[in-house]
Amino acid sequence: MHNHRVIPGFGLSLGFTITYLSLIILIPLAALFLNAGGLGPAEWWRILSTPRVLAAAKLTFGASAAAAAVSVGVGLLVTWVLVRYRFPGRRLLDAMVDLPFALPTAVAGITLTSLYAPNGWLGGYLAKWGIQGAYSPFGVFIALTFIGFPFVVRTVQPVMEDLGSELEEAAATLGAGRWTVFRRVILPALVPALVTGFTLAFARAIGEYGSVIFISGNLPMKTEILPLLIVSQLEQYKYRDAAVIAAGMLLVSFTLLFLINLLQRQLDWHKR
């Protein structure tokens, strides 16, 4: 019973992994939940039901959902073009999709702001149509879409590359047009990946801070997002309010991640 493991290093690697994980992630997060949990439901309700928190929650979740939905559309188009067609510059385009992952969020924030401000390159055009780009909820949506759509591309891309052509050929043989084939054959096969991409983009958008705070204008009740509200509570030394808002956000994000895991497990099971 002493050691039936053939590959060495199990105790050492697992011990180090668990110790480090606990010190850096688990204990600090537990401290947050203990801080917030010690307050009781009445206090939670008092903090979370203030108009300012509700307005920030509505903007954060609303803009994140809208951005994730648009990311699915944009991501599907971009993935389709990258996987199915060959054209000059395709590899460069493929590499560029990761730019929002690699570009520091503060840089994305100030750049998008300068582009979409009323006197910016794109904001000027939008203003002609009566749309305010930066310093509005629409600006928050733009920043979150920028951050979110690579998640959709990178989730859908491998699935689309693995789609065999047999079903499409069969459908074409049976007289289906391209649009019918896309709608009835290809799209259903991509739905799970699209849902995962949506959820990843949505989860990232909820917590996003750097790219949003410059373009949003940060008006309480109008363009203030939840992460910024946490920061402003901290700046007023309201640690408890900050902890409760943060714990609420984390509960939503963890639930989302849990649901993705369930979904993926179910899909793996189907594949088998």
Q: Which of 62, 118, 239, 266 is close enough to bind another protein by CB under 8 A? A: 239
Cβ proximity to another protein, 103 vs 189, nearer residue: 103
Interface with another protein, residue 32, by CB under 8 A:
yes
From 104-112, 132-140, 154-162, 190-198, span contacting another protein (CB under 8 A): 104-112
**Residue 108, SS3 per DSSP:** helix
From 46-54, 114-122, 127-135, 187-195, span contacting another protein (CB under 8 A): 114-122
Give me the least distance between CB of 221 and another protein, in Å please. Answer: 19
Interface with another protein, residue 1, by CB under 8 A:
no
Interface with another protein, residue 221, by CB under 8 A:
no
Q: Which of residues 82-101 bind another protein (CB under 8 A)?
A: 82, 84-85, 87, 89, 91, 93, 95-101
Task: In whole angstroms, give the CA distance from residue 99 to residue 192.
Answer: 25
Q: Residue 149 in contact with residue 71, Cβ under 8 Å?
A: yes
Q: Which of residues 125-164 bind another protein (CB under 8 A)?
A: 145-146, 149
Q: Which residues are CB-neighbours of 133 under 8 A, at least 6 positions away? A: 115, 116, 117, 118, 120, 122, 123, 126, 127, 139, 142
- Counting runs of H as helices and runs of E as strands, what totals does the chain give? 15, 0
- The dihedral formed by the CA atoms of 201, 87, 178 and 75, expressed in degrees to the nearest 10: 10
